[in-house]
């Protein structure tokens, strides 16, 4: 068995050295893979780990940047035009198993062209993957090649892919401000936006759950004795929470046949505002319309000053320092007492 051999195909040199495990293509270290199996597994793994969208960006970026290297190599060949370099490149790729590529409508003045690809390795992999959409590696790769050859940023538009049912893929190329870097930036911003949207959704869900919980535990209506209910006011009351308090209290008092509503203001000591004072007045007046007398307990000196400054008159309600005093008063009104 020959351990060293070489062959020339289409003017291109292929060499093998089995003693060193080397394969050379045009004097450069190269490797061979089965396209529809080993390379398919490689692409599948990238997509599985990073996700389809990220894999597309990775492959497109890699294809373009590899194309830049290829184009740079041929651009520095002496006495070789862009047209001649294009023919050399397609011949090279055909011999390397990249499929049949034809450069058409090449215009060195407008920097435009079309690339027709047939049975490329990317197409073979996409078929093996049972994809319904063609890949972006080779379209971006040729954009990189001609960006180097023209010394101008070139981008592409896929007219159609072979996998769409056509005999070949057709890609148009033209000068553009679109770049790989912009694509990466756009992808990053898109992923950030998706994360932000997901966080906002979670925050909305948790906020809704918290609001429901607050509604359940906030300012509960506590029946302490027959005909007497206590509502402890806690925290800060914005417009929505104040409305919830009014509705909840007025709707539930008839169920308890409440004659006396004791509003415990102790929990408002550090959050007592003019708005809170107006809420208390409004709640007390509304309760009186359904035959319930309101008693206020837990008013501090600081609260009394706020009430006075707001010009709100709460003297129409009985006021006591502690909840115990308020309950004793309500019982006494019905000729009862706690022994």
Tens digit of each residue's pLDDT (9 = 90 or more) over 187-197: 677 667 777 77
Question: How far apart (Å, rounded) are the C-alpha atoms in residues 245 and 243?
Answer: 5
257 neighbors 334 (Cβ within 8 angstroms): no
Residue (of 236, 246, 315) closest to 276 by Cα position: 236
pLDDT tens, 100-112? 999 999 999 999 9
Tokens of 325: 């005093």
Higher pLDDT, 38 or 212: 38
User: 25 pLDDT band (50/70/90 cuts)?
Assistant: confident
pLDDT above 90 covers a percentage of the chain that reads 34
Element housing 38 (H / E) = none
Which residue in this structure is represented by tokens 């102790």?
266
Q: Which of 119-128, 211-220, 283-292 has the lowest mean pLDDT?
A: 211-220
Dist CA 185 CA 23 (whole Å): 38
Q: Does domain 219-333 have CATH number 3.40.190.10?
A: no
Tell me, what's the pLDDT at 218? 61
The CATH number given to 33-178 is 3.30.1380.20
Rounded to two decimals, the pTM is: 0.59
Where in the chain are the domains? 33-178, 219-333
Q: Which ranges of the chain would DSSP assign to H, the alpha helix?
A: 40-50, 52-75, 82-95, 121-128, 137-150, 180-217, 239-252, 274-289, 301-310, 323-333
The pLDDT value given to residue 178: 85
More confident residue, 226 or 119: 119
pLDDT at 275 over 90: no
Determine contact, residues 134/162, Cβ cutoff 8 Å: yes
Question: What pLDDT is attached to residue 246?
Answer: 86
Q: Average pLDDT, stretch 316-329?
A: 90
Query: What are 27-59's pLDDT values in tens digits?
Result: 888 888 888 888 888 888 988 888 888 888 888
Instruction: Evaluate whether 33-178 and 219-333 have a shared fold.
Output: no
> Is pLDDT above 70 for 1?
no
């Amino acid at each position: 068995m020959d351990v060293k051999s070489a062959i020339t195909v289409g003017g291109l040199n292929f060499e093998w050295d089995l003693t060193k495990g080397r394969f050379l293509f045009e004097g450069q270290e190269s490797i061979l893979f089965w396209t529809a199996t080993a390379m398919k597994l490689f692409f599948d793994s990238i997509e599985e780990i990073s996700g389809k969208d990220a894999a597309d960006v990775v492959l497109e970026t890699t294809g373009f940047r590899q194309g830049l290297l290829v184009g740079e190599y041929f651009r520095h060949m002496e006495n070789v035009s862009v047209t001649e370099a294009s023919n050399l490149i397609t011949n090279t790729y055909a011999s390397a198993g990249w499929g049949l590529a034809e450069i058409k409508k090449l215009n060195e003045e407008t920097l435009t062209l079309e690339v027709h690809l047939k049975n490329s390795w990317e197409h073979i992999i996409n078929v093996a993957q049972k994809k319904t959409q063609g890949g972006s590696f080779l379209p971006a790769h040729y954009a990189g090649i001609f960006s180097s050859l023209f010394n101008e940023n070139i981008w592409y538009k896929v007219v159609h892919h072979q996998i769409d049912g056509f005999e070949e893929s057709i890609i148009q190329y033209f000068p553009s401000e679109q770049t790989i870097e912009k694509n990466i930036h756009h992808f990053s911003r898109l992923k950030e936006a998706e994360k932000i949207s997901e966080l906002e959704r979670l925050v909305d869900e948790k906020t809704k759950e918290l609001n429901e919980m607050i509604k359940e535990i906030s300012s509960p209506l506590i029946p302490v004795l027959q005909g007497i209910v206590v509502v402890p006011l806690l925290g800060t009351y914005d417009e929505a929470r104040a409305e919830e308090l009014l509705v909840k209290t007025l709707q539930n008092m008839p169920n308890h046949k409440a004659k006396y509503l004791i509003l415990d203001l102790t929990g408002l000591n550090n959050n007592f505002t003019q708005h809170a004072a107006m809420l208390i007045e409004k709640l007390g007046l509304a309760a009186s319309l359904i035959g319930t007398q309101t008693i206020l307990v837990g008013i501090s000196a600081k609260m009394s000053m706020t009430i006075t400054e707001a010009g709100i008159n709460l003297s129409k309600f009985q006021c006591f320092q502690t909840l115990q005093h308020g309950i004793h008063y309500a019982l006494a009104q019905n000729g009862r007492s706690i022994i």
